[in-house]
Structure 1
Amino acid sequence: MNLANKITLARIFLVPIIMFLLLINMNLSELRFEDFSITWNQILATLIFIVAAATDGLDGYIARKNKIVTNLGKLLDPLADKLLVAAVLISLVEMDKVDAWIAIVIISREFAVTGLRQIALLEGAVLAASTWGKWKTAVQITMIIALLLNNFPFTFIDIPFDQISSWAAALITVYSGIDYFVKNKNLIPLTE
């Protein structure tokens, strides 16, 4: 197994650690300011999430640079991305930090696009990520970090950035999904 695939696997293995830190009632001490508090396990989960999200670009870069792109990597990389985002979103719903409908919209889009990619693979085609798909990922990661950090530092200047980014993530997720299907409509069998 090459280095790029090992990095992708590491991202997958970080998912349950992040969920454990977010969902376990460890009663760790909190950082408290006047109108803001956050638990140490949330801070640790956020740092691990940021590392995991950063490995997405790293594994692809290493694979392309060293010409070690493999079928296993092509399978694991998008799976790792979807597991990371879906698991953290579900945890955030459980923590009452994001509305369930936003998580459902985002996760549903991921399933739908994965299905379209599978159809493309059966036809011998590989569908690359679109520009909108890359923006969608960036906005989703930004939203998740804002939610994990309880809207820090925006809470001090009274800007609901966590809510704004949640709506932005939902909207760009829907748009990127529609864009993906429109651009690849030739792959969708209208009759069997």
Structure 2
Amino acid sequence: MNLPLSLTLLRIFFVPLIVVLLLTKGHDLDGWAVGVFLAAALTDLLDGQLARRRGQITTLGILLDPVADKLLTCSAFISLVERGYVPAWIAVIIVGREFAVSGLRAVASAEGYVLSASELGKTKMVLEVAAITAIVAERHLPRMMGWHLGVVLLWLVMLFALVSAGQYFWMFWRKMASRAVGRAKVAAAAGAIPTARAKEPDDSVAEEKNVSAQ
């Protein structure tokens, strides 16, 4: 097991600890929750960079990385719903989007196509980390200019979540459409070969005709 993959697995192992810290109310524990959450999010940045630098990009890593991200952010949002910090309907949209994209990735994998993370998806992940951190931290800080920073970031998360999901489905549809066109061309070419052969004169028949004529 290489280092980037180990960091991805470490992010998954952080998830239960973060849930416990978030659901156990207390100012000190909220601080610990934010710290552990940010440490887990940092592994997402490191594993990708290390994998590219070391040439250790693997199919398992590509598949596990978004799963680890979804477990981290979805568990945090669900915990914040339980504490009353995030409206349930917003969490349903965000979590539902993650399940939809995960299902799409599974279908793409079955078709032999790896659906890698897009720039919009990566931006969405950064916004999720910022939103979760701000929502927890600002409960212990005064409002800034009458606005909750966490609420603003949460709406941005929803926007990028929906747009990036649409992008993933569009990428998948284009790939499948391109593959279907390619298969149709191959089938058409394969069907044209027997037709062309059928139109060619039979040499043996031609020879028999020549003999008869003589």
TM over 0.5: yes
Q: Distance in 2 between matches of 1:177 and 1:6?
A: 27
Please report how far the alpha carbon of residue 157 of structure 1 lies from its aligned counterpart in structure 2 after TM superposition.
3.5
Q: Distance in 2 between matches of 1:102 and 1:141?
A: 16
Per the alignment, do residues 156 and 167 of structure 1 end up closer, same or farther by CA in structure 2, a change over 3 Å counting? Answer: closer
Per the alignment, do residues 117 and 69 of structure 1 end up closer, same or farther by CA in structure 2, a change over 3 Å counting? Answer: same
Q: Distance in 2 between matches of 1:59 and 1:142?
A: 19
Q: Distance in 1 between matches of 2:126 and 2:11?
A: 17
**Which of the numbers 154, 157, 166 marks the counterpart of 1:169?**
157
**Higher relative contact order structure (alpha carbons within 8 Å, sequence separation ≥ 6):** 1
Q: Distance in 1 between matches of 2:9 and 2:67?
A: 10
**Which of the numbers 110, 119, 126 marks the counterpart of 2:107?**
119
| Contact persistence 1:151–1:161 (CA under 8 A) | no
Please report how far the alpha carbon of residue 77 of structure 1 lies from its aligned counterpart in structure 2 after TM superposition.
1.3
SS of 2:164's equivalent in the other structure is helix
Q: Which string of whole-angstrom CA distances, capped at 9 and with x for unpartnered residues, describes residues 69-93 of structure 1? A: 2233223211111100111011000
Structure-2 residue corresponding to 1:57: 45
How much identity, in percent, do the aligned residues show? Answer: 41
Per the alignment, do residues 188 and 42 of structure 1 end up closer, same or farther by CA in structure 2, a change over 3 Å counting? Answer: farther
Higher relative helix content: 2
SS of 2:160's equivalent in the other structure is helix
Q: Distance in 2 between matches of 1:61 and 1:132?
A: 18
| Contact persistence 1:142–1:165 (CA under 8 A) | yes
Taking the TM superposition and a 5 Å limit, the aligned residue runs for 1:11-26 are 11-25=11-25
Q: Distance in 2 between matches of 1:135 and 1:158?
A: 26
Structure-1 residue corresponding to 2:31: 43
Matched to 2:78, the amino acid is I
Taking the TM superposition and a 5 Å limit, the aligned residue runs for 1:87-126 are 87-126=75-114
Structure-1 residue corresponding to 2:10: 10
| Contact persistence 2:22–2:30 (CA under 8 A) | yes
**Which of the numbers 106, 130, 134 marks the counterpart of 2:122?**
134
SS of 1:166's equivalent in the other structure is helix
Structure-1 residue corresponding to 2:60: 72
When normalised by structure 1's length, the TM-score is 0.84
| Contact persistence 1:151–1:160 (CA under 8 A) | no
Structure 1 gap ranges (5+): 29-38
The list of structure 1 runs, each at least 4 consecutive aligned residues, that deviate by more than 6 angstroms after superposition, is none
Q: Distance in 2 between matches of 1:128 and 1:106?
A: 19
**Computing the radius of gyration over CA atoms, which structure comes out larger, 1 or 2?**
2
Instruction: Kindly report the root-mean-square deviation, in angstroms, between the aligned alpha carbons of the 2 structures.
Output: 1.9
Please report how far the alpha carbon of residue 156 of structure 1 lies from its aligned counterpart in structure 2 after TM superposition.
4.4
**Matched positions, count:** 177
SS of 2:31's equivalent in the other structure is helix
